[in-house]
Structure 1
Amino acid sequence: MKKVAVVVCPNIRNFGSVLQSYATQKAVTKLGYDNEYIKYTKTKKTAYKYLIQLLIPSIMAERWSFVKRKFFQRKNSEFISRRNKVFDAFVDRYMTASPKIVGYDALKKAGRNYSMAVLGSDQVWNPINSGSDFYTLNWLPKNTKRVAYAPSFGVSHVPFLLEKSYKDFLKKFDHISVREIRGQKIVKQLTGEKVPVVCDPTILFKAEDWDDILPEKNVTEGKYIFCYFLGNRREPRECVLKLAKKTGLPIVMMPFFGEICEYDNKLNAKFADDPDPSNFVSAIKNAEYVCTDSYHGTVFSILYHKKVMVFRRHSADSSKNTFSRLESLLSIAGMKDRIVNDVWEDRFITDSTDYAEVDKNIEKLRKYSWNYLSKSLKN
């Protein structure tokens, strides 16, 4: 019997991408399917697929951020290399990969080896990823079953120039679910179909399940504020400084090297050394407070019942605003009061979260999501 192809993004070395990739494969395995994630590397031969992006300002703005990130990584190549190695070691330890596939032609050939494909979560349907033609599953044979489990668009709408290509590949899927309400609206607009909203694969598993991957030692000892920001805005950092001053707690950070923020140096924080995804989960579990603009930073804060403060990665009027997925998650959990609108309020210290009620909300979504995934794979 042919294997199931799990299409995820563990090669994108950030905590959320790797952890959701791991959780997706773990879920498919738990349901009894022999599977492997597709270990694919694209080549310059398919660069022409990206040409249409030159006409889309929002994507080109993201591309410019990518170029700046590359310059930073070259300047800090030794550190980035160490960091990449610990991420790759985590993936090699906890995930099962296909043989390495290089180039789109080889990908199409390898696609014949699978009876079904499960597309995982994260922002795999973000327009910036459209040029690779990987997360569309267009490389699979026509009769191969396609299941989309909790993908995110990461944007409020698909650019007009990409609408047709999105409609074409979405219609090939046998089952589609999405991670947030905004994604549900996008699929409805493009296909006319109402699809279910399910939980991110990381939420399929409870805190005690995640304890299985925790390292022997946490990144630091004692009480602390854990800080993880994807964005480079100053306002969230200023709120963190006020929290530290009012609580007297030190700050521990795991910087994200996508959008560099010089203001981080003013936080007098301890920077975790070469953390892998298991260290990220551990740092959240053992923190007194978590301050983040990260979707998965928020997910694990909820799973581990943390005092969390959730910030916007971009300003509300930014064309790059991706906050809808966090609003959706916090709304479902019943925790929208943990959103910080760049203004410090003492309630973030004094108010507590009713996690008994939050757990009920999350468990309801979790059961629904497991049921959806199980039925989609069977039918």
Structure 2
Amino acid sequence: MKNFGSVLQVYALCEAIKRLGYHSEVVWQSGNMSKNQDIRPVKVIRTLLRLCSHPLLLWSTVKAIIEAKSQVIDELKEKKFNDFVDANFVQSFYDPEEITKMAATDKFYKFVCGSDQIWSSTTLYPDPMMYLRFAPKGKRVAYAPSLGRNYIPNYNKKILKKYISDVPCLSVREDEGRRLIKELTGRDALVVADPTLLLSSRDWDSLKIEIETPGNYVLCYFLDTPSDDVKTNICKYASLSGRDIVVLGKLNNLNYPQNKIHFPVAGPGEFLHLISNASMVITDSYHGMLFAINYRKKFWSVERAYSQYDQSSRQLTVLSRLDLKERYLCKISGKDE
């Protein structure tokens, strides 16, 4: 799946490292069998073995696969993402044996993992790559990875304890992650800013790609389909404020004049343009919220409570530190901005 926040946080982390005086590049393990999802043979095999020993996890895994396959991949959107990555990233691909040998040489001073949900606590496959297991221990740095959940299941505690304990330079991006790591390993992880906040809005402006938009609009960016109540209140707000609605992500069947609803095809550059020109941003996306803050936009961060996991800590960590917790809503009330 093409995700704006995932791509832009990688860019931001690479750019921040460059500004410290280092060359940076994105290192990948080769052998992926899919263009749009991480399907490496070793990952598939180990996931199947884990399912055999934990059959109760089978149904949730099947649901996740069905959900992934149901996503329609827009070819134009895919091209926009690929063009952005090609223009702004230096990438290298290594096979599993080669990457270990390369990491032991002087080619790279440090390896940094972060800052998306690469340490998801409920995954069936804690990916050694995401914990930098291929690199010598002294070269491992974790900058703002997320565990993505508010608990660690028993089936992952042993391996996550080992993997996290073996990262000497440790930080996370939310308070909940710090608590979980403390309980699991006894270590105090530093809570740091998401990489996207290490760059200013002026920095991001240089990457914007213009796209046709209405003059006055509410940008709605949802990663999960919102409830009917949320949809109703979005329409109510847009109507009271006299604005069009621009939609990114999973938001449809809005009871609003169709000529005032827009569904642009956007890559990361277009996403930045849409955020920076919006009159209001309403989103359940963590990075959608962060870019609204960075561009000093009026926004509502809507609770992403559409799955079985509580994922609110990452939003609330940022909002509490910026004294903006009133912008976090379980429901949109339709009140004035």
Superposed pair shares fold, TM > 0.5:
yes
Is the Cα contact below 8 Å between 1:251 and 1:267 reproduced in 2? no
* Structure 2 counterpart of 1:61: 60
Q: TM-score, normalised by structure 1?
A: 0.78
Deviations 1:121-152 (A, max 9, x none): 01111132734322021122x34411100111
Q: Does 1:271 align with 2:232?
A: no
Is the Cα contact below 8 Å between 1:58 and 1:320 reproduced in 2? no
Q: Does 1:28 align with 2:28?
A: no
What is the RMSD of the two structures over their aligned residues, measured on CA atoms?
2.3
Is the Cα contact below 8 Å between 1:115 and 1:144 reproduced in 2? no
Q: Does 1:308 align with 2:307?
A: no
Give how far 1:160 is off: 1.1
* Structure 2 counterpart of 1:82: 76
* Structure 2 counterpart of 1:375: none
Q: Does the C-alpha gap of structure 1 residues 45 and 303 become closer, same or farther in structure 2, counting only changes over 3 Å?
A: closer
* Structure 1 counterpart of 2:219: 226
Q: Does 1:101 align with 2:90?
A: no
Give how far 1:97 is off: 1.1
Deviations 1:143-166 (A, max 9, x none): 441110011111001111101101
Deviations 1:195-237 (A, max 9, x none): 211000000111111111112x244141111110011122322
Deviates more, 1:121-130 or 1:175-184: 121-130
1:170 and 1:177 map into 2 onto residues whose CA distance is 10
Give how far 1:185 is off: 0.4
Deviations 1:58-90 (A, max 9, x none): 7963652342231333xxx5xx22211210110
Q: Does the C-alpha gap of structure 1 residues 143 and 246 become closer, same or farther in structure 2, counting only changes over 3 Å?
A: closer
Match of 2:133 among 133, 138, 146: 138
Deviates more, 1:204-213 or 1:53-62: 53-62
The alignment partner of 1:135 has SS state of: helix
Give how far 1:174 is off: 1.4
Q: Does the C-alpha gap of structure 1 residues 18 and 247 become closer, same or farther in structure 2, counting only changes over 3 Å?
A: same
1:143 and 1:227 map into 2 onto residues whose CA distance is 42
Q: Does the C-alpha gap of structure 1 residues 270 and 59 become closer, same or farther in structure 2, counting only changes over 3 Å?
A: farther
Q: Which amino acid aligns with 2:217?
A: Y
* Structure 2 counterpart of 1:236: 230
Is the Cα contact below 8 Å between 1:39 and 1:97 reproduced in 2? yes
Q: Which amino acid aligns with 1:90?
A: F
Paired residue total: 321
Q: Which amino acid aligns with 1:279?
A: E
Matches within 5 A, 1:304-343: 304-315=295-306, 318-343=307-332
* Structure 2 counterpart of 1:361: none
The alignment partner of 1:38 has SS state of: strand
Q: Does the C-alpha gap of structure 1 residues 68 and 205 become closer, same or farther in structure 2, counting only changes over 3 Å?
A: same
Q: Which amino acid aligns with 2:224?
A: G
Q: Which amino acid aligns with 1:276?
A: G
1:309 and 1:62 map into 2 onto residues whose CA distance is 32
Is the Cα contact below 8 Å between 2:289 and 2:301 reproduced in 1? yes
Q: Does the C-alpha gap of structure 1 residues 139 and 56 become closer, same or farther in structure 2, counting only changes over 3 Å?
A: farther
The alignment partner of 1:125 has SS state of: coil
Q: Which amino acid aligns with 2:315?
A: L
2:22 and 2:15 map into 1 onto residues whose CA distance is 10
1:280 and 1:267 map into 2 onto residues whose CA distance is 23
Q: Does the C-alpha gap of structure 1 residues 58 and 279 become closer, same or farther in structure 2, counting only changes over 3 Å?
A: farther
* Structure 2 counterpart of 1:187: 181
Q: Which amino acid aligns with 1:297?
A: G
Q: Does 1:294 align with 2:294?
A: no
Q: Which amino acid aligns with 1:230?
A: L
Match of 2:46 among 40, 45, 49: 49
Identical-pair percentage: 31
The alignment partner of 2:25 has SS state of: strand
Give how far 1:238 is off: 1.9
| Structure in which a larger fraction of residues adopt helix | 1
The alignment partner of 1:309 has SS state of: strand
Q: Does 1:198 align with 2:188?
A: no
1:144 and 1:265 map into 2 onto residues whose CA distance is 56
Q: Does the C-alpha gap of structure 1 residues 150 and 96 become closer, same or farther in structure 2, counting only changes over 3 Å?
A: same
2:5 and 2:204 map into 1 onto residues whose CA distance is 14
Give how far 1:264 is off: 5.2
Q: Structure 1: 5+ residue runs without aligned partners?
A: 1-11, 350-379
The alignment partner of 2:204 has SS state of: helix
Q: Does the C-alpha gap of structure 1 residues 105 and 339 become closer, same or farther in structure 2, counting only changes over 3 Å?
A: same
Is the Cα contact below 8 Å between 1:58 and 1:319 reproduced in 2? no
Is the Cα contact below 8 Å between 1:219 and 1:279 reproduced in 2? no
* Structure 1 counterpart of 2:7: 18
Q: Does 1:254 align with 2:256?
A: no
